[in-house]
Homo-oligomer: A and B are copies of this chain.
């Protein structure tokens, strides 16, 4: 049911993060809105990055070690490069724990992008 809000909510802004822009269909984007939102789409606009992001997002707990997702057909420096791009776009965060580096998705960003693409009321 609607037990989605029962989480401790450690980060107080984790529910309304990235109120960057209204749905694309609501009104024409301003220059600022476009320059804020476009980098997120751009980051997902490469097949390798999309696979890396999907691999992290679909992994247990939305978190994955680089070693678990690095098999995407390009060299390891290239994987690192793409993960950095995803980090810079705000879609992923990274953390080193001992030997390995773990990447996790920023759930609020996913929700915000989904809201951007919400279809208009097809009444």
Contact partner of A107 among B4, B122, B123, CB < 8 A? B122
Q: How many residues of A contact B (CB 8 A)?
A: 47
A28–B10 alpha-carbon span in the complex (Å)? 28
Contact A48 B25 (CB under 8 A): no
Decide if the interface of chain A is mainly helix, strand, loop or mixed. Answer: helix
CB of A67 within 8 A of chain B?
A: no
Min CB distance, A22 to chain B, in Å? 9
A55–B26 alpha-carbon span in the complex (Å)? 9
What 0/1 readout, one digit per residue, does chain A (43-69) give for beta carbons within 8 Å of chain B? Answer: 111111111011101100010000001
- Given A7-B122, A111-B119, decide whether A51 and B31 contact each other with a Cβ distance below 8 A: yes
